[in-house]
Amino acid sequence: MQITPEYIAEKLLAAEKSALDLEDYSEMKVTPETKLRSAAVLLPLTFFQDEWHILYTRRTDRVESHKGQVSFPGGASDEGETTPEQTALREADEEIGMNPKDVIPLGRLTRMITVSSFRVSPVVGIIPSPYAFKVSGAEVARIFTIPLLWLADRNNYWEFSMADSERSLIAYHPFDGELLWGATARMTVGFLRTIDLLK
Mean pLDDT of 136-156: 94
Mean pLDDT of 172-195: 95
60 pLDDT band, cuts 50/70/90, is: confident
Q: Is the pLDDT of residue 66 over 60?
A: no
Q: Is the pLDDT of residue 70 over 70?
A: yes
User: Is 41 or 137 the better-scoring residue by pLDDT?
Assistant: 41
CATH annotation of 5-194: 3.90.79.10
Cα 25 to Cα 15, 58, 71, 185, 187, distances in angstroms? 14, 23, 17, 12, 9
29 pLDDT band, cuts 50/70/90, is: confident
Q: In the prediction, which pLDDT does 131 show?
A: 96
pTM (whole model) above 0.95? no
Q: Is the pLDDT of residue 23 over 70?
A: no
114 pLDDT band, cuts 50/70/90, is: confident
Q: In the prediction, which pLDDT does 55 show?
A: 98
